[in-house]
Structure 1
Amino acid sequence: GMFFLFSLAVVVRVVICQDCFFKSSLYIGHVNITIDNVTCDRWDAHLSHSDLLTLKLPDVSTSEASNYCRDPDEKGHPWCYVSNDPHHKTWEFCDVLFCRECYFANRSHEYNGYVTTSINGNCLAWTGTSFPDSSFPDGSVARAHNYCRDPDNRGYPHCHTTHGVLPCLIAKCNHSVCADDPSTLCEILKSVICGVKDIAQKLCPKTCGMCGKSLTTASFVRFRNLILQVK
Protein backbone atom coordinates (compact mmCIF):
# COMPACT_ATOMS: atom_id res chain seq x y z
CA GLY A 1 0.00 0.00 0.00
CA MET A 2 1.08 3.55 0.71
CA PHE A 3 3.78 2.36 3.16
CA PHE A 4 5.41 0.44 0.31
CA LEU A 5 5.39 3.51 -1.91
CA PHE A 6 6.91 5.73 0.77
CA SER A 7 9.54 3.09 1.55
CA LEU A 8 10.84 3.57 -1.99
CA ALA A 9 11.29 7.30 -1.48
CA VAL A 10 15.08 6.99 -1.64
CA VAL A 11 15.11 5.53 -5.13
CA VAL A 12 11.95 6.90 -6.75
CA ARG A 13 10.31 10.23 -7.27
CA VAL A 14 6.71 11.08 -8.09
CA VAL A 15 6.23 12.86 -11.38
CA ILE A 16 3.18 14.32 -13.06
CA CYS A 17 2.83 12.29 -16.23
CA GLN A 18 1.23 13.62 -19.35
CA ASP A 19 -2.55 13.70 -19.49
CA CYS A 20 -3.19 11.48 -22.50
CA PHE A 21 -5.50 8.78 -23.82
CA PHE A 22 -5.29 5.19 -25.01
CA LYS A 23 -8.79 4.86 -26.48
CA SER A 24 -10.46 8.20 -27.11
CA SER A 25 -13.93 7.09 -26.00
CA LEU A 26 -12.49 6.08 -22.61
CA TYR A 27 -10.48 9.25 -22.02
CA ILE A 28 -11.20 10.56 -18.51
CA GLY A 29 -8.52 13.23 -18.16
CA HIS A 30 -8.94 16.88 -17.28
CA VAL A 31 -7.91 18.71 -20.45
CA ASN A 32 -10.60 21.30 -21.24
CA ILE A 33 -8.94 23.40 -23.97
CA THR A 34 -9.31 22.85 -27.72
CA ILE A 35 -6.53 22.83 -30.30
CA ASP A 36 -7.39 26.48 -31.02
CA ASN A 37 -6.99 27.33 -27.32
CA VAL A 38 -10.73 27.77 -26.75
CA THR A 39 -12.17 26.79 -23.37
CA CYS A 40 -14.67 23.93 -23.58
CA ASP A 41 -18.34 24.28 -22.65
CA ARG A 42 -19.87 22.05 -20.00
CA TRP A 43 -21.43 18.88 -21.38
CA ASP A 44 -24.65 19.35 -19.41
CA ALA A 45 -25.15 22.68 -21.20
CA HIS A 46 -25.53 20.83 -24.51
CA LEU A 47 -26.71 17.29 -23.82
CA SER A 48 -30.26 16.31 -22.94
CA HIS A 49 -31.34 13.11 -21.21
CA SER A 50 -32.16 11.55 -24.59
CA ASP A 51 -28.67 12.42 -25.86
CA LEU A 52 -27.17 10.39 -23.04
CA LEU A 53 -28.94 7.29 -24.34
CA THR A 54 -26.93 7.40 -27.57
CA LEU A 55 -23.67 9.01 -26.43
CA LYS A 56 -21.16 7.17 -24.27
CA LEU A 57 -19.53 9.37 -21.66
CA PRO A 58 -17.07 7.44 -19.47
CA ASP A 59 -18.05 9.59 -16.49
CA VAL A 60 -20.81 8.79 -14.01
CA SER A 61 -22.78 11.82 -15.17
CA THR A 62 -22.61 14.89 -17.41
CA SER A 63 -22.05 16.89 -14.25
CA GLU A 64 -18.94 14.86 -13.43
CA ALA A 65 -17.76 15.21 -17.03
CA SER A 66 -17.81 18.97 -16.39
CA ASN A 67 -16.22 20.67 -19.42
CA TYR A 68 -13.48 18.10 -19.91
CA CYS A 69 -12.65 16.83 -23.39
CA ARG A 70 -14.36 13.53 -24.20
CA ASP A 71 -15.24 11.39 -27.23
CA PRO A 72 -18.75 10.05 -26.49
CA ASP A 73 -19.61 9.44 -30.15
CA GLU A 74 -16.24 7.91 -31.07
CA LYS A 75 -14.94 10.54 -33.46
CA GLY A 76 -11.48 9.10 -32.83
CA HIS A 77 -10.09 11.88 -30.64
CA PRO A 78 -11.29 13.73 -27.50
CA TRP A 79 -13.35 16.83 -28.34
CA CYS A 80 -15.78 19.24 -26.72
CA TYR A 81 -18.54 21.72 -27.47
CA VAL A 82 -17.56 25.37 -27.82
CA SER A 83 -19.77 28.44 -27.92
CA ASN A 84 -17.17 31.21 -28.10
CA ASP A 85 -15.01 29.86 -30.91
CA PRO A 86 -13.79 32.68 -33.21
CA HIS A 87 -14.45 30.46 -36.24
CA HIS A 88 -18.04 29.85 -35.11
CA LYS A 89 -17.59 26.12 -34.71
CA THR A 90 -20.00 24.20 -32.48
CA TRP A 91 -17.36 21.65 -31.41
CA GLU A 92 -13.64 21.15 -31.78
CA PHE A 93 -10.96 18.54 -31.13
CA CYS A 94 -8.85 18.99 -28.01
CA ASP A 95 -5.10 19.13 -27.60
CA VAL A 96 -4.85 15.71 -25.94
CA LEU A 97 -2.07 13.33 -26.94
CA PHE A 98 -2.29 9.63 -27.64
CA CYS A 99 -0.11 8.42 -24.78
CA ARG A 100 0.50 4.95 -26.18
CA GLU A 101 2.74 6.25 -28.94
CA CYS A 102 5.29 8.81 -30.01
CA TYR A 103 7.59 9.20 -33.00
CA PHE A 104 11.29 9.88 -33.33
CA ALA A 105 11.87 13.17 -35.15
CA ASN A 106 14.66 11.81 -37.34
CA ARG A 107 12.75 8.60 -38.17
CA SER A 108 9.16 9.76 -38.58
CA HIS A 109 8.80 7.57 -41.69
CA GLU A 110 9.13 4.54 -39.39
CA TYR A 111 6.10 5.48 -37.29
CA ASN A 112 3.62 2.59 -37.48
CA GLY A 113 1.15 3.42 -34.71
CA TYR A 114 -2.62 3.50 -34.78
CA VAL A 115 -3.56 7.18 -34.55
CA THR A 116 -6.15 8.04 -37.22
CA THR A 117 -6.90 11.67 -36.38
CA SER A 118 -5.26 14.79 -37.80
CA ILE A 119 -5.26 18.22 -36.18
CA ASN A 120 -8.55 18.89 -37.97
CA GLY A 121 -10.56 15.75 -38.58
CA ASN A 122 -10.33 12.04 -39.24
CA CYS A 123 -7.80 10.60 -41.68
CA LEU A 124 -8.68 9.14 -45.07
CA ALA A 125 -7.35 5.81 -46.34
CA TRP A 126 -3.96 5.87 -48.04
CA THR A 127 -5.34 3.72 -50.87
CA GLY A 128 -6.49 6.93 -52.52
CA THR A 129 -2.89 8.13 -52.92
CA SER A 130 -0.11 7.23 -55.37
CA PHE A 131 2.52 6.18 -52.81
CA PRO A 132 4.12 2.75 -53.44
CA ASP A 133 3.88 -0.04 -50.87
CA SER A 134 7.54 0.44 -49.98
CA SER A 135 6.78 3.89 -48.57
CA PHE A 136 4.92 2.43 -45.60
CA PRO A 137 6.32 0.55 -42.58
CA ASP A 138 3.20 -1.62 -42.75
CA GLY A 139 4.47 -3.22 -45.96
CA SER A 140 1.65 -2.04 -48.17
CA VAL A 141 -0.69 0.87 -48.80
CA ALA A 142 -3.69 -1.28 -47.91
CA ARG A 143 -2.28 -2.32 -44.52
CA ALA A 144 -1.56 1.33 -43.69
CA HIS A 145 -5.35 1.84 -43.70
CA ASN A 146 -5.97 5.45 -42.61
CA TYR A 147 -3.25 5.50 -39.92
CA CYS A 148 -1.01 8.53 -39.62
CA ARG A 149 2.19 7.91 -41.58
CA ASP A 150 5.06 9.79 -43.22
CA PRO A 151 5.56 8.13 -46.62
CA ASP A 152 7.04 11.26 -48.18
CA ASN A 153 9.48 12.05 -45.34
CA ARG A 154 7.97 15.33 -44.17
CA GLY A 155 9.49 14.81 -40.75
CA TYR A 156 6.24 14.12 -38.88
CA PRO A 157 3.30 11.69 -39.13
CA HIS A 158 0.45 13.10 -41.19
CA CYS A 159 -2.50 11.98 -43.28
CA HIS A 160 -4.90 12.98 -46.02
CA THR A 161 -8.17 14.54 -44.88
CA THR A 162 -11.07 16.34 -46.51
CA HIS A 163 -9.12 19.52 -45.67
CA GLY A 164 -5.95 18.36 -47.40
CA VAL A 165 -2.76 16.85 -45.96
CA LEU A 166 -2.51 17.65 -42.25
CA PRO A 167 -0.17 16.69 -39.39
CA CYS A 168 -1.44 14.33 -36.72
CA LEU A 169 -1.69 14.88 -32.97
CA ILE A 170 1.24 12.62 -32.09
CA ALA A 171 4.01 13.62 -29.70
CA LYS A 172 7.71 13.44 -30.43
CA CYS A 173 9.51 10.89 -28.31
CA ASN A 174 11.38 12.49 -25.44
CA HIS A 175 14.67 10.96 -26.56
CA SER A 176 16.29 10.35 -29.92
CA VAL A 177 16.86 6.65 -29.26
CA CYS A 178 14.68 4.14 -27.44
CA ALA A 179 17.06 2.16 -25.24
CA ASP A 180 17.49 1.08 -21.65
CA ASP A 181 18.99 3.57 -19.23
CA PRO A 182 21.70 1.60 -17.38
CA SER A 183 21.10 3.63 -14.21
CA THR A 184 17.46 2.52 -14.00
CA LEU A 185 16.56 0.03 -11.30
CA CYS A 186 14.47 -2.14 -13.58
CA GLU A 187 13.12 -4.54 -10.98
CA ILE A 188 11.57 -1.70 -9.01
CA LEU A 189 10.30 -0.04 -12.16
CA LYS A 190 8.64 -3.24 -13.33
CA SER A 191 7.10 -4.07 -9.97
CA VAL A 192 5.76 -0.59 -9.24
CA ILE A 193 4.74 0.65 -12.68
CA CYS A 194 4.77 -2.07 -15.28
CA GLY A 195 3.04 -4.52 -12.97
CA VAL A 196 -0.12 -2.46 -13.28
CA LYS A 197 0.58 -1.62 -16.94
CA ASP A 198 0.43 2.12 -16.47
CA ILE A 199 3.45 3.52 -18.27
CA ALA A 200 3.70 5.41 -21.54
CA GLN A 201 6.33 4.80 -24.18
CA LYS A 202 7.21 8.50 -23.82
CA LEU A 203 9.15 7.58 -20.66
CA CYS A 204 11.72 6.01 -22.99
CA PRO A 205 14.63 5.34 -22.63
CA LYS A 206 13.98 4.17 -19.04
CA THR A 207 12.19 1.16 -20.49
CA CYS A 208 13.83 -1.95 -19.05
CA GLY A 209 13.66 -3.85 -22.32
CA MET A 210 10.14 -2.74 -23.22
CA CYS A 211 10.71 -0.34 -26.12
CA GLY A 212 7.92 -0.38 -28.65
CA LYS A 213 5.46 -2.27 -26.46
CA SER A 214 2.02 -0.91 -25.66
CA LEU A 215 1.90 -0.70 -21.88
CA THR A 216 -0.53 2.15 -21.44
CA THR A 217 -4.13 1.48 -20.43
CA ALA A 218 -7.19 3.70 -20.30
CA SER A 219 -6.73 3.94 -16.54
CA PHE A 220 -3.41 5.74 -17.08
CA VAL A 221 -4.96 9.17 -16.61
CA ARG A 222 -6.61 8.15 -13.33
CA PHE A 223 -3.21 7.37 -11.84
CA ARG A 224 -1.16 10.08 -13.58
CA ASN A 225 -0.17 11.67 -10.25
CA LEU A 226 1.02 8.37 -8.80
CA ILE A 227 3.26 7.14 -11.61
CA LEU A 228 6.75 6.52 -10.29
CA GLN A 229 9.91 7.09 -12.29
CA VAL A 230 13.07 5.46 -11.02
CA LYS A 231 16.14 7.65 -10.91
Structure 2
Amino acid sequence: MSSDDCYVGDGYSYRGKMSRTVNQHLCLYWNSHLLLQENYNMFMENAEVHGIGEHNFCRNPDGDKKPWCFIKANHGKVKWEYCDISACSALGKTMAVWRPG
Protein backbone atom coordinates (compact mmCIF):
# COMPACT_ATOMS: atom_id res chain seq x y z
CA MET A 1 0.00 0.00 0.00
CA SER A 2 1.39 3.38 -0.96
CA SER A 3 1.02 6.68 0.88
CA ASP A 4 -1.60 7.59 -1.76
CA ASP A 5 -3.94 4.99 -0.24
CA CYS A 6 -4.50 6.91 2.98
CA TYR A 7 -4.69 10.50 4.16
CA VAL A 8 -3.02 12.44 6.98
CA GLY A 9 -4.97 14.73 9.33
CA ASP A 10 -8.12 15.97 7.61
CA GLY A 11 -6.79 14.98 4.17
CA TYR A 12 -6.36 18.52 2.87
CA SER A 13 -2.97 17.48 1.45
CA TYR A 14 -4.27 14.19 -0.02
CA ARG A 15 -3.18 13.88 -3.66
CA GLY A 16 -3.90 10.21 -4.23
CA LYS A 17 -6.01 8.68 -6.96
CA MET A 18 -9.04 7.33 -5.11
CA SER A 19 -12.20 8.20 -7.03
CA ARG A 20 -14.92 6.22 -5.21
CA THR A 21 -17.08 7.24 -2.28
CA VAL A 22 -17.90 5.30 0.87
CA ASN A 23 -21.10 4.20 -0.92
CA GLN A 24 -19.03 3.09 -3.95
CA HIS A 25 -20.25 5.87 -6.23
CA LEU A 26 -17.83 7.05 -8.90
CA CYS A 27 -16.70 10.65 -8.41
CA LEU A 28 -17.53 13.30 -11.00
CA TYR A 29 -14.63 15.01 -12.73
CA TRP A 30 -13.81 18.35 -11.10
CA ASN A 31 -14.09 20.00 -14.54
CA SER A 32 -17.58 18.58 -15.19
CA HIS A 33 -20.19 21.05 -16.44
CA LEU A 34 -22.40 19.66 -13.65
CA LEU A 35 -20.17 21.38 -11.08
CA LEU A 36 -20.24 24.89 -12.55
CA GLN A 37 -22.72 26.02 -9.87
CA GLU A 38 -20.73 24.44 -7.02
CA ASN A 39 -18.25 26.33 -4.84
CA TYR A 40 -15.50 23.82 -5.60
CA ASN A 41 -14.61 22.97 -9.20
CA MET A 42 -11.66 23.21 -11.59
CA PHE A 43 -12.62 26.73 -12.59
CA MET A 44 -12.41 28.23 -9.09
CA GLU A 45 -9.54 30.52 -8.14
CA ASN A 46 -6.40 28.59 -7.09
CA ALA A 47 -7.96 25.22 -7.93
CA GLU A 48 -4.54 23.61 -8.41
CA VAL A 49 -3.49 24.65 -4.88
CA HIS A 50 -6.36 22.51 -3.59
CA GLY A 51 -5.38 19.60 -5.85
CA ILE A 52 -8.37 20.13 -8.13
CA GLY A 53 -7.89 19.65 -11.86
CA GLU A 54 -8.97 17.61 -14.88
CA HIS A 55 -9.51 14.43 -12.84
CA ASN A 56 -12.10 12.85 -10.56
CA PHE A 57 -9.86 12.07 -7.58
CA CYS A 58 -11.03 12.68 -4.03
CA ARG A 59 -9.89 15.93 -2.44
CA ASN A 60 -10.64 18.05 0.63
CA PRO A 61 -10.47 21.66 -0.60
CA ASP A 62 -12.66 23.03 2.20
CA GLY A 63 -10.93 21.42 5.19
CA ASP A 64 -13.79 19.02 5.95
CA LYS A 65 -13.09 15.97 8.13
CA LYS A 66 -11.76 13.80 5.26
CA PRO A 67 -11.43 13.77 1.44
CA TRP A 68 -14.67 13.85 -0.55
CA CYS A 69 -15.99 14.34 -4.06
CA PHE A 70 -19.12 15.24 -5.96
CA ILE A 71 -21.33 12.50 -7.39
CA LYS A 72 -24.32 12.39 -9.69
CA ALA A 73 -27.19 11.15 -7.52
CA ASN A 74 -30.77 10.19 -8.36
CA HIS A 75 -32.46 12.23 -11.08
CA GLY A 76 -29.12 13.78 -12.10
CA LYS A 77 -28.85 15.82 -8.91
CA VAL A 78 -25.29 16.64 -7.81
CA LYS A 79 -24.32 15.94 -4.20
CA TRP A 80 -21.12 15.17 -2.34
CA GLU A 81 -19.98 12.15 -0.36
CA TYR A 82 -16.92 11.26 1.66
CA CYS A 83 -14.47 9.02 -0.14
CA ASP A 84 -13.57 5.44 0.65
CA ILE A 85 -10.13 6.28 2.04
CA SER A 86 -8.76 5.51 5.49
CA ALA A 87 -6.67 7.79 7.65
CA CYS A 88 -3.03 6.68 7.65
CA SER A 89 -3.15 6.61 11.46
CA ALA A 90 -6.03 4.10 11.33
CA LEU A 91 -3.84 1.85 9.20
CA GLY A 92 -0.90 2.11 11.59
CA LYS A 93 1.11 4.08 9.05
CA THR A 94 3.27 7.02 9.94
CA MET A 95 4.58 9.59 7.55
CA ALA A 96 8.22 10.66 7.78
CA VAL A 97 8.89 14.37 7.84
CA TRP A 98 12.19 15.49 6.33
CA ARG A 99 13.86 18.52 7.85
CA PRO A 100 16.96 20.00 6.22
CA GLY A 101 20.13 20.62 8.17
Q: TM-score, normalised by structure 2?
A: 0.69
Whose Rg is larger? Answer: 1
Q: List alignment gaps of at least 5 residues for structure 2.
A: 36-40
- Taking only aligned residues, the RMSD between alpha carbons, in angstroms, comes to 2.9
**Distance in 1 between the 2:19 and 2:6 partners?**
12
How far does the alpha carbon of each residue in 1:108-147 deviate from its partner, in whole angstroms, 9 at most, with x for none?
A: xxxxxxxxxxxxxxxxxxxxxxxxxxxxxxxxxxxxxxxx
C-alpha contact 1:69 1:78 (8 A) present in aligned 2: yes
Report the counterpart of residue 7 of structure 1 in structure 2.
Answer: none
**1:119 matched to which residue of 2?**
none
Partners of 2:87 and 2:23 in 1: how far apart?
18
Q: Structure 1 residues 85 and 68 mapped into 2: Cα distance closer, same or farther (>3 Å)?
A: farther
Who is 1:38 aligned against? Answer: 25
Gaps of 5+ in 1: 1-15, 103-170, 174-199, 201-214, 219-231
Q: Is the 8 A contact 1:25 1:56 kept in 2?
A: no
Report SS of the residue matched to 2:69.
Answer: strand
Report the alpha carbon displacement of residue 85 of structure 1 after superposing the two structures with TM. 5.3
What's the counterpart of residue 98 of structure 1?
Answer: 87
2:95 counterpart of 1:216: yes
Higher helix residue share: 1
Distance change (3 Å), C-alpha of 1:91 and 1:56: farther
- Identity of paired residues, percent? 23
User: 2:13, 2:23 → 1: CA distance?
Assistant: 23
TM-score (norm 1): 0.33
Higher relative contact order (CA 8 A, sep 6+): 2
Conservation of the 8 A alpha-carbon contact between 1:38 and 1:85: no
Instruction: State the distance in 1 between where 2:49 and 2:65 align.
Output: 13
CA offset at residue 17 of structure 1? Answer: 3.7
